[in-house]
Amino acid sequence: MAQTPTPAALPDSARDPALASEKEAAWSSGLITRQTPGHSKTVDVDIQGAKKLYLNVRNGGGDIAWDHANWLEPTLTNGQKSIALSSLSWKQASAGWGKATVNKSVSGAELLVGGKKYTHGIGTHSNFLIEYELPAGFTRFKATVRLDNAGAAQNTGGTVQFLVFTKNPFKPVPADSVRVEVALQQLGFNSACTIRNLWTGKEVGTFTGKFAPPHVRRHGGKLYRVSAQRNVR
């Protein structure tokens, strides 16, 4: 007796590029929460020889609610000359809520932190990454990172981690497509099967043991019907 045709949906082959781990960062704040004294950490990073600077804010646990984060008085220096990083244009920036904002918090308010007003800084929100092309001649990056008042004043959320990278933190992008092999026995077929592409309506062929269709694009899928061949007597 022939088995009931089985739809075989090939899984999405996509995997979005991930960021490098904390261990690969030039500097990490560790976890900063509403319970962290001062809600802040001081940054002082060696950037000698670096051509790029990446500032990253990650969620420290749970969801990203109230992860308002500030880079205060971010400065490039060589001991003799200094320049406010916020005076430079970034190459690209992203934020998990709102958008990265120069000299204001991500909500658009003044950079008012712990009762002190800051005129130079970058307000953002996890998960956030900003990329700068560094001017030549600077050897250190200095700043204060802090959970913004908007996050620190809540009774939920506000858990962040600040990281600094001097090398591209993105891991290699996965292949644009992948060949997905289907073990037909796992679908309950122990003999020859006829496979039909349900989107085109065309029969692909007869297969035994396994089926490996053409490559599946990232964020894509394919749908096939697998039917046991009838025994003709």
**Strand-pair partners of 7:** 225
| Token output for 152 | 């620190």
> How do 40-46 and 121-125 pair as beta strands?
unpaired
Query: What are the sequence ranges of the domains in the chain?
Result: 6-15+174-228, 22-165
- 70, 71, 69, 61: which is closest to 156 by C-alpha? 61
Considering the domain 22-165, what is its CATH architecture?
Answer: Sandwich (2.60)
86-112: pLDDT as tens digits: 999 999 999 999 999 999 999 999 988
Domain boundaries 6-15+174-228, CATH class: mainly beta
For 162-197, write each residue's pLDDT tens digit: 999 999 998 766 667 777 888 998 888 989 999 999
What rounded mean pLDDT belongs to the chain? 86
Rounded to two decimals, the pTM is: 0.69
Residue 57's φ and ψ, nearest 5 degrees, are -125, 125
Query: Is the pLDDT reported for residue 145 higher than 80?
Result: yes
Distance between CA atoms of residues 47 and 82, nearest Å: 13
CA distance 52 to 223: 44
